[in-house]
Structure 1
Amino acid sequence: MTRSPVLGRFRHGYVAPAAILVAVLLYAPFVWTAYLSLTRYDGLEPPAWVGLDNFVKLLGDPALLTSVRNTLIWVAGTMVLPVGLGLLVAVLSYDLRGGVWYRVPFMLPYALSGAGLAMVWSPVLSHDGIANLLLGVDTAFLQEAPQNTLAMLLVWTWQQLGVNTLLFVVGLQSIPKEPIEAARLDGASGWRLFRHVIWPLMRPLTAVVVGLALVASLKTFDIVWVLTQGGPGRNSETLAVTMYKETFVASEYGYGSAVAVLLTVVTGLASYLYLKRQVR
């Protein structure tokens, strides 16, 4: 089949609208943000060039270390809880009769937005909330670090568990039955079957699930903002919350843009290293 000379001549024109749209909606705002990160700008007066002063101030800010620590807790917790538990639920319910109905309760919270989910859990985790009444304790779940970050991570897990379970179920359904049946004939079952047969066959999908979870955890904002607004003080801030507070609360658009650039670089670098490792 020969290629039409007309299609070959104008092939770049077909992708031009999509490329222009991506450039306008993604790249142009990032370039503008990168420029603002090199200025002092309060949203009223014209931006004043200050070079790398915002980044120097950022690296010397004690709150940055807290934000980085909390962000790393979110990343590690996401790998263990939403991803790990999602895999566990998918595997345990896959061969069960009516297993889809066991997975439905895990899927329902994903229909809520992060902000809506946080509003549901706020009266549960407050100092005089439902959790303390049911457990018979007097614990300030959202008042002390790092337990406030861990409590919010459990809320995040409740939302994300369902979609991770669904993705892993799709991966299980895509596995050829022949290797599993052959392994069972050889006497493999339970953990040995999962570890040596099912898990290696699911590796490509697992890489996708973990990659998506990694990026989402680095950008965590809505649950933290609604439940604690980064407090008390600044002890539960993540990088995304720090960016928002500096930009839209303190009206330090230049400094907030510096935090945004740092968050973008961290997210991009983490994604690149992860994908490079998976490819290798």
Structure 2
Amino acid sequence: MIAYWKKNGEALLYALPAALLIIAFFITSIAYTIYLSFTDYNGLAAPKWVGLSNYLAIFQDATYLTSLKNTLIWVFASLILPVGFGLLFSVLLQNLKGQRIFKNIFYLPYAMSLTVVGVIWVFLFSQTGINYMLTLLGLEAFTRDWLTSPPLNTFSMIVASVWQGTGTNMLLFLIGLGALPKEPFEAAAIDGANRIRTFWSVTLPMLSPITIVVMGMSLVNSFKIFDIIWVMTMGGPYRSSETLAVTMFRESFVLFHFGQGAAISIVLTIASIAVSWFYLRKTIIKEG
């Protein structure tokens, strides 16, 4: 032990300030949040211990169940749509002339914050946006109250999120496609495989490492989606489009139910870690 400290003591001293900051601001915050989740606390009076009441409410209260359902919808849609479109566009653009122009066009929405994207799509879903264009085309029957009719409001916001997130997935898949060796494709061509067969049997399996990364990122981001929902509907109308992240914010910083908000944050954290771990474990075992 003495020899170890003599050898590594100086390096450990350099790492000590960072370690103390992590303990002070990260681990301590987690512990305090866990404690608050078992209390009724409004930020003024002393926390009152309520046990598991906050956690039970998440799975019993209709508002929280709607929030949970919307979160699951966001997770499923974020795994299928932006990842699927990103892969599709990357394959279409792989050997296309003028690829740089199209890459910039598809990536441009990702350069905007979700707040800006939300503002843009609020206008598009207003009466002077998509509905106006449909009316001009004589398609009044297809006009809708896109952001005020549940569950259409949730699906409308998912469209905006997919528009923003597809570009970065496309670029990641393009990087993966560019790194693939040519020999397997040449062998598939010699065997007479068509483009679809080559894609399913050669391209997709070889892209699995980058697919794991893209789907993992999409999975984690879908659990904590907040900005675009708050800008476009603030979780309304009547809290019908809230996700757990939005509900956590509302309970904590609008209604000042800090105990309930802490409980939701713990459930959200555990769910995102568990689902990510399960997905990565199954995928890595399958790849191995």
Show the counterpart of 1:209: 214
CA distance in 2, matches of 1:75, 1:160: 14
Residue 85 of structure 1 deviates from its aligned partner by: 0.2
Q: Secondary structure at the match of 1:104?
A: helix
CA distance in 1, matches of 2:118, 2:107: 17
The answer (yes or no) to whether the contact 1:93–1:100 under 8 Å persists in 2 is no
CA distance in 2, matches of 1:92, 1:256: 44
Alpha-carbon displacement from aligned partner over 1:13-50 (angstroms, at most 9, x marks no partner): 45444444444443322221111111111111222222
Alpha-carbon displacement from aligned partner over 1:213-246 (angstroms, at most 9, x marks no partner): 0110111111111111111001101000110111
Alignment of 1:50 onto 2:50: yes
Alignment of 1:119 onto 2:119: yes
Q: Among residues 147, 166, 169, which one is paired with 2:171 in the alignment?
A: 166
Write the mapping of 1:63-78 to structure 2, written as runs, cut at 5 A.
Answer: 63-78=63-78
Write the mapping of 1:147-166 to structure 2, written as runs, cut at 5 A.
Answer: 147-166=152-171
Alignment of 1:135 onto 2:159: no
Alpha-carbon displacement from aligned partner over 1:131-190 (angstroms, at most 9, x marks no partner): 101122331001111111110000001100110001111111121122222222322231
Unaligned 5+ runs, structure 2: none
One-letter amino acid of the structure 1 residue matched with residue 30 of structure 2: F
Alignment of 1:240 onto 2:245: yes
Root mean square deviation, CA, Å: 1.8
One-letter amino acid of the structure 2 residue matched with residue 75 of structure 1: V
Residue 58 of structure 1 deviates from its aligned partner by: 2.6
Q: Secondary structure at the match of 2:237?
A: coil
Residue 95 of structure 1 deviates from its aligned partner by: 1.1
Show the counterpart of 1:99: 99
1:182 and 1:9, CA in 2 relative to 1: closer, same or farther beyond 3 A?
Answer: farther
Alignment of 1:90 onto 2:71: no
Q: Secondary structure at the match of 1:60?
A: coil
Show the counterpart of 1:185: 190
CA distance in 2, matches of 1:6, 1:34: 38
One-letter amino acid of the structure 1 residue matched with residue 215 of structure 2: V
Alpha-carbon displacement from aligned partner over 1:41-100 (angstroms, at most 9, x marks no partner): 111122222222212233221112111111111111112211100000001101112212
Show the counterpart of 2:151: 146
Unaligned 5+ runs, structure 1: none
Residue 10 of structure 1 deviates from its aligned partner by: 4.9
- Which region of structure 1 is more displaced relative to structure 2, 7-16 or 211-220? 7-16
Among the aligned pairs, what percent are the same residue? Answer: 42
The answer (yes or no) to whether the contact 2:81–2:162 under 8 Å persists in 1 is yes
Alignment of 1:110 onto 2:110: yes
Residue 7 of structure 1 deviates from its aligned partner by: 4.6
Show the counterpart of 2:231: 226
Q: Secondary structure at the match of 1:215?
A: helix
CA distance in 2, matches of 1:107, 1:269: 30
TM-score normalised according to structure 2 size: 0.90
Residue 11 of structure 1 deviates from its aligned partner by: 5.2
Show the counterpart of 2:31: 31
The answer (yes or no) to whether the contact 2:57–2:64 under 8 Å persists in 1 is no
1:10 and 1:237, CA in 2 relative to 1: closer, same or farther beyond 3 A?
Answer: same
CA distance in 2, matches of 1:158, 1:197: 28
1:191 and 1:15, CA in 2 relative to 1: closer, same or farther beyond 3 A?
Answer: farther
CA distance in 2, matches of 1:33, 1:214: 23
CA distance in 1, matches of 2:124, 2:94: 32
CA distance in 2, matches of 1:96, 1:256: 49
1:26 and 1:185, CA in 2 relative to 1: closer, same or farther beyond 3 A?
Answer: farther
CA distance in 1, matches of 2:9, 2:106: 51
Q: Secondary structure at the match of 2:147?
A: coil
